[in-house]
A and B are shown apart, each in its own frame.
Chain A
Amino acid sequence: MAEAATATRGHAEGETRRDFIYLAAGGMGVVGAAAVAWPFISFMNPSADVLALSTTEVDLKPVQEGMAITVTWRGKPVFVRKRTKAEIDAAAATPLSALPDPQPDSARAKKPEWLILVGVCTHLGCVPLGQKTADPKGEFGGWFCPCHGSHYDTSGRIRKGPAPKNLEVPAYAFLDDTTIRIG
């Protein structure tokens, strides 16, 4: 009896140690595989040279009132528009209740005459029309996205159509009166 009991206990102990080793091996295998996955994921993220190019300086001198220019920032178009008094007033006068994505015009422009926007429709990423004089500007005098018919106002806010949000205002700073740095 006693002998049998010892044998059983010895067997059970062996079993536990064996399980521990299998668990440790499996656990380390999982940890190792996860650690290997990270460099591959990170590899696809923006590289150092791409990140280094993430600011663009724009000279505003050539832009006349009522005109707009398009510059490239991070591979995307950025709309720089010098608004007329009428456009600024129209944007400021719009009640927030009329906006799907309510935001006052004052929060979207550091200097009222300069409107800086990422020119990418917040619906599915097309570039809205309205930069050139001959372009359709939509029902609200701002921009009109030809892909799915979103209308933006003179503050770049969504007014009508499928886009859920206003055109994004990128981070920018005035370096002096006529130069801005985007990014």
Chain B
Amino acid sequence: MAAPAFKNGLVRWIDHRLPVFSFLHHELHEYPTPKNLSYWWNFGSLAGIVLVIMIATGIFLAMHYTPHTLYAFDSVERIMRDVNYGWLIRYIHMNGASFFFIVVYIHIFRGMYYGSYKAPRELLWILGVVILLLMMATAFMGYVLPWGQMSFWGATVITNLFSAIPVVGDWIVTWLWGGFSVDNPTLNRFFSLHYLLPFLIVAVVMLHMVALHRFGSGNPLGIDVKGPQDSIPFHPYYTAKDSFGLGVFLILFAGVVFFAPNLFGEPDNYIPANPMVTPPHIVPEWYFLPYYAILRAIPNKLLGVIAMFASILVLFILPWLDTARVRSAKFRPTYRKFFWVLVIDCFVLGYVGANPPEGWFVITGQIATAYYFFHFLILLPVLGLIERPLPLPQSISAPVLKPAEGKA
């Protein structure tokens, strides 16, 4: 690849010494992208933009936030009431977390539907799972910072999960807390880490991008790009498409931020933390509900915790659990049905997680949990071997070209 000839003299001067413009040209303009990407491929870049929004609003919020048990709640309320546009920036950050998970979950399920994790993109997928784990840790610690009732009791319950570890469990929990309960040292370290982890996410996102650009995006057909007729430059085609998608996203996001900012929140978190009184119904944020349901589905404490972590860790080995040779569910009629069953299963788990563990919720949660692991550990390996995929098109252009050929 030859360095492009830039018209602007200053750009040429800089690029000769620091080839950032060549890099951008290469990654955006020359970077060949399959021409048949659907709107489901918008969510990757969208997630990146939400990450930037979260970091920007977070850095500003930290300028007025006080990480101390006596002041944290009031400092957040001061941001909401007295700081100029504080309510806006805080509501963007608070709801941004929910929208980040919505976007990332869609991105993940898109990857599952179209087999984006299959060779040669296994590491791309694994880096994505690492990002998800880092996001979960960041979101959890961020939720503690306003120091409301849900912050405190969420922190107490989640950190107590580690007490399930045999022998060293209690020691680990004390270490996490920096004391004998969730208290000021805990709040301080959570603030410190909540500020740090997003930058780790940025680093892993960059690796995710490097891995992506090695083989380029997958596509809805799941077949490889065969030549220049199958691809178009990322810019302007996908920059234009992503910009439009971003516009639609921002309309929905602004709708919630301005007109229903507490939609995803719990009223209890507007009560200052009280270590003496647990609220009658403690639930995690919505994006943790399916894992919470898996935790509660198993009546043994240690096994419940293991199952919960396993529900995410299983994604690491997904590229090898799925034995099918065909990537896209478009050509896997049976897998396609089970994919949607898994989606419904996750919603059922979320619904169970939001409700108290009583009555039929218990058995429903257990069945849904069992199905979740059945899908990944048994169904995918077996289905890949026995399913007969539909015939694949010759190339990305082929299905489009065919009618044209017929006409001629």
Physical contact A–B (CB less than 8 Å) = yes
Interface of chain B, main secondary structure: helix
B243 within 8 A of A: yes
Residue interface mask B359-376, A partner, CB < 8 A = 1 = 000000000000000000
Residue interface mask A31-74, B partner, CB < 8 A = 1 = 00000000110111101111000000000000000000000000
Distance in angstroms between the alpha carbons of A49 and B243 in the assembled complex: 39
Distance in angstroms between the alpha carbons of A45 and B88 in the assembled complex: 15
Distance in angstroms between the alpha carbons of A48 and B83 in the assembled complex: 6
Count of B residues near A, CB < 8 Å?
Answer: 14
Evaluate contact between A43 and B60: CB separation under 8 angstroms.
yes
CB-based A-B contact count at 8 angstroms: 35
Evaluate contact between B63 and A44: CB separation under 8 angstroms.
yes
B71 CB to nearest A CB, Å: 13
Evaluate contact between A47 and B89: CB separation under 8 angstroms.
no
Distance in angstroms between the alpha carbons of A49 and B63 in the assembled complex: 15
Evaluate contact between B89 and A48: CB separation under 8 angstroms.
no
Question: Which residue in B60, B78, B81 is a CB contact (below 8 Å) of A40?
Answer: B60
Evaluate contact between A47 and B85: CB separation under 8 angstroms.
no
Evaluate contact between B243 and A45: CB separation under 8 angstroms.
no
A25 within 8 A of B: yes
> Which chain A residues numbered 17 to 35 have a C-beta less than 8 Å away from chain B?
25
B56 within 8 A of A: yes
Question: Which residue in B78, B81, B84, B243 is a CB contact (below 8 Å) of A43?
Answer: B84
Distance in angstroms between the alpha carbons of A48 and B60 in the assembled complex: 17
Residue interface mask B191-224, A partner, CB < 8 A = 1 = 0000000000000000000000000000000000
Evaluate contact between B86 and A47: CB separation under 8 angstroms.
yes
A7 CB to nearest B CB, Å: 23
Q: Which A residues lie within 8 Å of B56 (CB)?
A: 40
With A25-B243, A44-B63, A47-B64 as contacts: A39 and B84 at CB distance below 8 Å? yes
Question: Which residue in A25, A39, A48 is a CB contact (below 8 Å) of B88?
Answer: A39
Evaluate contact between A43 and B63: CB separation under 8 angstroms.
yes
Q: Which A residues lie within 8 Å of B85 (CB)?
A: 39-40, 42-43
B405 within 8 A of A: no
Question: What residue in chain A is nearest B57 (Cβ atoms)?
Answer: A40
Evaluate contact between A42 and B84: CB separation under 8 angstroms.
yes
Q: Which B residues lie within 8 Å of A43 (CB)?
A: 60, 63-64, 83-86, 89
Distance in angstroms between the alpha carbons of A44 and B89 in the assembled complex: 12
Distance in angstroms between the alpha carbons of A42 and B56 in the assembled complex: 14
A53 CB to nearest B CB, Å: 11
Evaluate contact between B243 and A48: CB separation under 8 angstroms.
no
Q: Which of A25, A40, A50 has the most CB of B within 10 A?
A: A40
B82 within 8 A of A: yes
Distance in angstroms between the alpha carbons of A43 and B92 in the assembled complex: 14
B256 CB to nearest A CB, Å: 17
Q: Which A residues lie within 8 Å of B89 (CB)?
A: 39-40, 43
B212 CB to nearest A CB, Å: 25
A155 CB to nearest B CB, Å: 38
Question: What residue in chain B is nearest A32 (Cβ atoms)?
Answer: B250
Residue interface mask B76-99, A partner, CB < 8 A = 1 = 001001111110110000000000
Q: Which A residues lie within 8 Å of B78 (CB)?
A: 47, 49
Q: Which of B63, B84, B243 has the most CB of A within 10 A?
A: B84
Evaluate contact between B243 and A47: CB separation under 8 angstroms.
no
Distance in angstroms between the alpha carbons of A42 and B60 in the assembled complex: 11
Evaluate contact between A49 and B84: CB separation under 8 angstroms.
no
Residue interface mask B53-79, A partner, CB < 8 A = 1 = 000100010011000000000000010
Q: Which A residues lie within 8 Å of B82 (CB)?
A: 47-50
Distance in angstroms between the alpha carbons of A40 and B63 in the assembled complex: 11
Question: What residue in chain A is nearest B84 (Cβ atoms)?
Answer: A42
Q: Which residues of A come within 8 Å of B, CB atoms?
A: 25, 39-40, 42-45, 47-50
Q: Can you give 19 A-B contacts (C-beta < 8 A)?
A: A25-B243, A39-B88, A40-B56, A40-B60, A40-B85, A40-B89, A42-B85, A43-B63, A43-B64, A43-B83, A43-B84, A43-B85, A43-B86, A45-B84, A48-B81, A48-B82, A48-B83, A48-B84, A49-B82
**3 A-B pairs with least C-beta separation:** A39-B85, A48-B82, A42-B84
